[in-house]
Structure 1
Amino acid sequence: MENRMATPMTRGEAAVVSTNKVIRNTYMLLAATLAFSAVVAGASLALQLPHPGLIITLVGYFGLLFLTTKFRNSGLGVLCVFALTGFMGYTLGPILSAYLSLPNGSMIVMQAMGGTAAIFLGLSAYALTTRKDFSFMGGFLMVGILVAFLAGLGAVFFNMPGLSLAVSAMFVLLMSGLILYETSNIIHGGETNYIMATVTLYVSIYNLFTSLLHLLGVFNND
């Protein structure tokens, strides 16, 4: 019987194995955090908890994001991800409560959920199957998100509904681009930390969903 010695993997093979591991871990953690966030949002909705407000939301989000980034290479990073997504789920509960109180609120929420799922799955599948490199979008997305974020704050502080609507439309486009960019980043080895990849995709999905809620609410005259 012929004896075959195991040969070490080439650098390219090792990179493929590492990339596949990051993809698998990212989507497993993303699924878990989305489920956890949905449970927290459901509890917040059922208990009719008040929205924490813009300042607490921003402090909580950026604070937990900082901790997640700091501990991204340890087990504490996973706990921080669940803390972050749970907090965002809590902030989503009062938003859903406001929409569900409308005459056709259930339809609006379901349409937003369906649209978010379709966009995320479609863009992820496209990036994974075509394996195109969307790294060129990085600079544009960074600037676009910053501009949209500042414009959103301006719309809140100065009570400008038209600007708020424009920001929601911008976020739909920007978050769609971010899904393509981050998925491509994982595939091509630009993102090797599945915790940070999960956070980026989760935030994209969250902002996409809330932006679609806003747009659909306006289109339904609510």
Structure 2
Amino acid sequence: MRLNTAVSRPEASILATNKMLKNTYMLLSMTLLFSALTAGLAMTLNLPHPGMIVSMIGYFGLLFLTTKFSNSSLGLVFVFALTGFMGLTLGPILSMYINAFSNGHELILTALGGTGVIFLGLSAYALTTRKDFSFMGGFLMVGILVAFLAGIGAVVFSMPALSLAVSAMFILLMSGMILFQTSAIVNGGESNYILATVSLYVSIYNLFLSLLQLLGVFGGND
């Protein structure tokens, strides 16, 4: 009986991890698709960007509600509300790039492809090596806070150089977040697939926007 128990525990752990991964990636795929649909709707209707203040209130408010109800079915509702809202704010940004640059569509597709390659590459590395990246948590939180405040400063004081530096920082930080979150799923540090999905979605969203901004500056054709 002892031998059977000892064997069943690792098996149960593996099954739980596989279920967590399946649920997370399934929900992540659905939220990315839903976000793309709302972004496309915003572009079709030519909706204006809501502005930094409204975007921040909407994002942090829906993020709070998603976290609060992450252990109930309401959490799923707020996940789609959050990602749908972020898609609506993304649509006007994409329209701006298309209108501002003759190669705007190419920039968007390149940023999308780069985001996909980075996400898949880092996720595959974390899944295959099963390394524990939990030590990065504190550094990432501080780095994101600093980059976030610097980004606000760049917008308020109109500092293009700082804005570019913030984009570069976010590419590195979001890449680190993908490693951190995927590692947490694999090693049992995260057992809530709703929270895991939100973390990965936000990382992908910010990674895409940061790549797009850098491509617009260095590869955009007026």
Aligned-pair Cα RMSD in Å:
1.4
Amino acid corresponding to residue 152 of structure 1 in structure 2: G
Amino acid corresponding to residue 219 of structure 2 in structure 1: N
Partner of residue 15, structure 2: 17
Deviating runs (4+, > 6 A) in structure 1?
6-9
Q: Point out where structure 2 has 5 or more consecutive residues left out of the alignment.
A: none
Partner of residue 112, structure 1: 111
Partner of residue 175, structure 1: 174
Q: Point out where structure 1 has 5 or more consecutive residues left out of the alignment.
A: 1-5
CA separation in 1, counterparts of 2:175 and 2:111? 14
Which has the larger displacement, 31-40 or 125-134?
125-134
Partner of residue 165, structure 1: 164
Q: How many residues align?
A: 217
Instruction: Describe the SS at the equivalent of 1:10.
Output: helix
Amino acid corresponding to residue 24 of structure 1 in structure 2: K
Among candidates 62, 76, 92, match of residue 64 of structure 1: 62
- 1:127-138 map, 5 Å: 127-138=126-137
CA separation in 1, counterparts of 2:61 and 2:8? 41
Amino acid corresponding to residue 54 of structure 2 in structure 1: I
CA separation in 1, counterparts of 2:168 and 2:104? 20
Partner of residue 37, structure 2: 39
- C-alpha deviation, 1:104, in angstroms: 1.0
Given the alignment of the two structures, is residue 156 of structure 1 paired with residue 150 of structure 2, yes or no?
no
Q: Deviations over 1:144-190 (max 9, x none)?
A: 00000000000011110100000000000000010000000000000
Given the alignment of the two structures, is residue 192 of structure 1 paired with residue 170 of structure 2, yes or no?
no
CA separation in 2, counterparts of 1:74 and 1:13? 27
CA separation in 2, counterparts of 1:143 and 1:19? 28
Instruction: Describe the SS at the equivalent of 2:27.
Output: helix
Using structure 2 for the length normalisation, give the TM-score: 0.95
Partner of residue 47, structure 2: 49
Instruction: Describe the SS at the equivalent of 2:50.
Output: coil
CA separation in 1, counterparts of 2:131 and 2:219? 37
Structure number with the higher helix fraction is 2
- C-alpha deviation, 1:8, in angstroms: 9.7
CA separation in 2, counterparts of 1:42 and 1:165? 26
Partner of residue 214, structure 1: 213
Q: Deviations over 1:123-162 (max 9, x none)?
A: 1111111111111111110110000000000001111010
